[in-house]
Amino acid sequence: MTRQLALVSDEAETTPDVEALYARYAQRVYRWALRFGGGNIAWAEDITQDVFMSLVKRAPALDDPQQLGGWFYRVTANRCLNELRRQRLSRAFAAALHSMRGAEPDPRPAPDVAIIERGELDAALQAIARLPPAERVAFCMRHLDDLPQQEIGKILGYSKGHVSRLLKRAGSRLRKTGWSVDDG
Amino acid sequence: MDDTRNLVRLLRAADQRMSRATLSRESHDRIRTELTAAGRPGPRRLSTMVPAPAGVAALCGALCGAAALWLVLQLIGRPSEAPESTAVRATGFAWQGDGQRCSAAARAGSLTLDGQCHIQAEQHGISIASRGQAEIVRVEDGVRLARGTAEFEVAHRPRRDPVRVWVSAGAIEVTGTRFIVEQSREGGHVDLLEGSIRFRAKDGTVTQVRPGTRFNWADRGSAPSPGAPPAAVPSPPTAAAVDTRAADRDHAAPSPTTEPPPTPPARARSSGTSAARLIERVEVLRAQRRYQEAIDLLRQSRGQSWDPHTAEVLSVEEGDLLDRVGDSARACAHWRTHAKQFPAGSYREAVRTALSRPNCR
């Protein structure tokens, strides 16, 4: 890729190109997306692409292109949250389609799209996948990234109180299905 | 509690494993190509330059965008996965192929393509871009699309015999044009993007197809013999219909050049079959990230007399696609209309959630 993206238009020395940013952050974004997407490779790839497309659109407005780690995390988390919400609609659509065709939808994930094999880890991911999107993302941010509630709220655009409610609800749902959610 | 039921520990273990995952090279290439195209000055996609209601024109734009992406791939010297050229050559067609995520296999004189493959049948001046799976057979006067979906582009052939693209119900005769053909077991259709083509049915009936229109056919028998004269095959495509699409629908209705005239446009019909076909088409477009085209297709289908459940499902899909393309204003407007139209619908909770988003309030 040869084209340079002017992140700071009047300072050539602080104008990283897309390639450099991509090389630096793509794997991180992909892994975050894998986490929020429960190990779904194709989904995480799409999220990664979307996040970098956002970078192209928003780059001129970014304050410090050298410190984009937080920006990427925030955009990835929010993109995942939006996608998970859309997925709920898509799943409803897919179920309706299969119903119209007289076939039951296959609830199992395609074997080639999951990165975690069946078993306990898969069961854990499935338990998380059954949570509503906001609870799911907040739960991962809290328990996997050890982010405080206030920080989670800042990233997702919620109040600290709302994040607290999301985490409580998530914990309650998971306990009802037999899981312990202690930090261990 | 047993450690195996401690969700956080298991999640961390899963997370540890996922942290070792890396993007595939193929994904890297795809994303880099998209970023390059998006970063270029000016309109990123031709489809944004055409009037929104012109469905086929929008299709043209998206296809041109795809072609541009492919071109970018070539220009930046990042060769994508080409079909096995030996397999292509083994067909004896003198075709050359390349493309994105493309694989090719030759068998008994036919070429089976999977992915976005670009091939040229040099003898007839035909360029073919497959979409998903397509099986293509070279015949004496052109090619036959045995199954699948492909875009064809034929160089202008003044004062020469037309090239023929054979399908189950007859042949598409081409003198220089660009069009997309889809052939399945049940039938198929051709969307004419530019130029001029005529459809010669097995019984010899000829129908002129105009740009921006679709010609449908349905199968009742077996596929025709590729090289056989059309009139020699007895069963005509009785369900053939020309469907004028989008803005062209009201003023560009094609007229057949011979009797019998085409049956009424497919839009007038509403059945489980047409719903299933529409849905399958939308699914294909969605899978190909051609969201705007899927939206256009769903909008065109609004006038049909779907049963309430089908209408609701299609409306939900349209709203979801509008969300997907990031058109918040249109998406919110759509969800509001949907909520009024289907107040007790099966997806009211999901619609309520969509409407509760900050940008919809």
- Give contacts of B276 with chain A, Cβ < 8 Å: 100-101
pLDDT at A102: 47
**Cα distances (angstroms) measured from residue B53 to each of B196, B264, B291:** 22, 22, 14
Across B16-43, average pLDDT: 72
Model confidence pLDDT, tens digit, residues B144-183: 888 888 888 877 666 567 778 888 888 888 866 778 888 8
pLDDT at B108: 63
Lowest mean pLDDT among A5-14, A109-118, B24-33, B148-157: A5-14
pLDDT at A3 over 50: no
Closest Cβ–Cβ partner in A27, A127, A174 for B23:
A27
| Closest B-chain CA to A39 | B18
In Å, how far from its chain's centre is CA B325? 18
pLDDT at A165: 94
- Give contacts of B14 with chain A, Cβ < 8 Å: 39, 116, 121, 124-125
User: Hey, how many other C-beta atoms are within 10 angstroms of the C-beta on B353?
Assistant: 17
Indicate if the alpha-carbon torsion angle B339, B340, B345, B349 is positive or negative.
Answer: positive
Tell me whether residues B4 and A22 touch, CB distance under 8 A.
Answer: no
pLDDT at B34: 76
Tell me whether residues A140 and B319 touch, CB distance under 8 A.
Answer: no
0.90 surpassed by complex ipTM: no
pLDDT at B173: 82
More confident residue, B84 or B52: B84
pLDDT at A147: 93
pLDDT at A162: 93
pLDDT at B259: 32
Return the top range by mean pLDDT from A59-63, A149-153, A178-182, B319-323: A149-153
pLDDT at B44: 30
| Among A58, A51, A30, A32, residue whose Cα is nearest residue A42 | A30
Which pTM does this prediction carry? 0.42
Return the top range by mean pLDDT from B54-58, B256-260, B302-306: B302-306
Across B24-36, average pLDDT: 79
Model confidence pLDDT, tens digit, residues B90-130: 454 545 445 556 677 776 667 888 777 777 776 677 778 77
pLDDT at B238 over 80: no
Model confidence pLDDT, tens digit, residues A94-151: 555 555 544 444 444 444 345 545 567 778 888 888 888 899 999 999 999 899 999 9
Closest Cβ–Cβ partner in A22, A34, A125 for B32:
A22
Which residues partner with A69 through β-bridges?
none
Helix (H, G, I), strand (E, B) or coil at B244: strand
Closest Cβ–Cβ partner in B7, B38, B310 for A56:
B38
More confident residue, A28 or B180: A28
| Among B58, B55, B54, residue whose Cα is nearest residue B66 | B58
More confident residue, A114 or A181: A181
Closest Cβ–Cβ partner in A5, A144, A174 for B39:
A5
Mean pLDDT, chain A, rounded, equals 74
Number of Cβ pairs < 8 A linking chain A and chain B: 143
pLDDT band at B39 (very low <50, low <70, confident <90, very high): low
pLDDT at B262 over 50: no
Tell me whether residues A26 and B4 touch, CB distance under 8 A.
Answer: no
Q: Report the share of chain B in percent with pLDDT over 70.
A: 59
Give the C-alpha separation, A73 to B294, whole Å: 31
pLDDT at A61: 60
Is B287 in CB contact (< 8 Å) with chain A?
no
Q: What count of residues does chain B have?
A: 361
What number of H helices and E strands is found in chain B?
9, 10
Tell me whether residues B11 and A124 touch, CB distance under 8 A.
Answer: yes
Residue type, B165: V
Is B181 in CB contact (< 8 Å) with chain A?
no
Which pair of tokens denotes residue B168?
């189950």
pLDDT at A63: 61
DSSP string, B148-167: EEEEEEE---TTSPPEEEEE
Tell me whether residues B35 and A116 touch, CB distance under 8 A.
Answer: no
Is B7 in CB contact (< 8 Å) with chain A?
yes
Across B214-234, average pLDDT: 50
pLDDT at A16 over 90: no
Model confidence pLDDT, tens digit, residues A40-65: 887 888 889 889 888 887 665 666 66
pLDDT at A170: 93
pLDDT at A161: 92
For tokens 């991509």, what's the residue? A22
Q: Is A164 exposed, middle or buried (0-12, 13-18, 19+ CB in 10 A)?
A: middle
Lowest mean pLDDT among A67-76, B60-69, B236-245, B303-312: B236-245
pLDDT at B96: 46
More confident residue, B112 or B238: B112
pLDDT band at A29 (very low <50, low <70, confident <90, very high): very high
In angstroms, the separation between the Cα of residue B8 and the nearest Cα of chain A is 6
Tell me whether residues B7 and A180 touch, CB distance under 8 A.
Answer: yes
In angstroms, the separation between the Cα of residue B292 and the nearest Cα of chain A is 16
Tell me whether residues B22 and A27 touch, CB distance under 8 A.
Answer: yes
Q: What is the DSSP letter of B81?
A: -
pLDDT at B64 over 50: no
pLDDT at B9: 87
Mean pLDDT, chain B, rounded, equals 66
pLDDT at B87 over 90: no
pLDDT at B61: 45
| Closest B-chain CA to A32 | B19
Indicate if the alpha-carbon torsion angle A124, A126, A131, A135 is positive or negative.
Answer: positive
Q: What is the DSSP letter of B50?
A: S
pLDDT at B248 over 60: no
